[in-house]
Amino acid sequence: MAGKKFEFLNSDETITPVLKQILEYIKGALPAKSNADETLFKAKIIITELLTNALKHSHSKITIIDVKITNKILTITKTNYSDPLALIAKTNTTRNKIAITKDMLHTLYAKSTANDQVQFLYEEIDIVDTSSINDIIEHFGLLIITKAADIFVYTYDHNVQSNTFVVTIEY
């Protein structure tokens, strides 16, 4: 298993260099028999959204991106130290999936899989007419990651105040 950690300093200036470093690492570590182009495309979308999310929403100075590659699975883990996502309080009270947001093509859900842990899921819906830019969802980045990943899970650890997003891609 190959693995490497990357530090993102949560600034506009470092997002592109860190993204390039991570993608180069993944490209070099993927097995020769994998579908590298598709996997790299998904990884680029996911990592871009994870870094953007850290830049926009995290109150920490550093975000860690941990990349692990096995024979068939690429795992990307983003960790930062900040307050939990607000949806944790909502999902801890139910084991059912709850709709986070909806756009004209999808409904994005969060489903509690353990205390302070949710898995993101989506369902495609019939196209709904929208007449306003305000109808575009706030959590669009979470939807993008959910669609590109095979599994996408968020966990908050109260003891160390860490937010951990784990994305799995099977290739």
Tell me, which fold does domain 2-80 have in CATH? Answer: Heat Shock Protein 90 (3.30.565)
- What is the reported pLDDT for 138? 63
Q: Please, which pLDDT band fits residue 130 given cuts at 50, 70 and 90?
A: low
67-to-4, 25, 73, 162 alpha-carbon distances in Å: 5, 9, 11, 18
Q: Please, which pLDDT band fits residue 102 given cuts at 50, 70 and 90?
A: confident
Q: Is 18 helix (H, G, I), strand (E, B) or coil?
A: helix
- What is the reported pLDDT for 133? 47
Cβ-contact 120, 154 below 8 angstroms:
yes
Instruction: Retrieve residue 47's tokens.
Output: 């990592």
N- to C-terminal Cα separation, the chain = 14
Residue ranges of alpha helices (H) inside the chain are 12-29, 36-57, 87-92, 140-148
Domain coordinates of the chain in residue numbers?
A: 2-80, 87-158
Query: pLDDT digits over 23-80, tens only?
Result: 999 999 999 888 899 999 999 999 999 999 999 888 889 999 999 999 899 999 999 9
Q: Residue 111: pLDDT above 70?
A: yes
Specify the pTM: 0.87
Kindly state the greatest CA–CA separation across the chain: 49
In the chain, DSSP finds a helix count (H) and a strand count (E) of: 4, 8
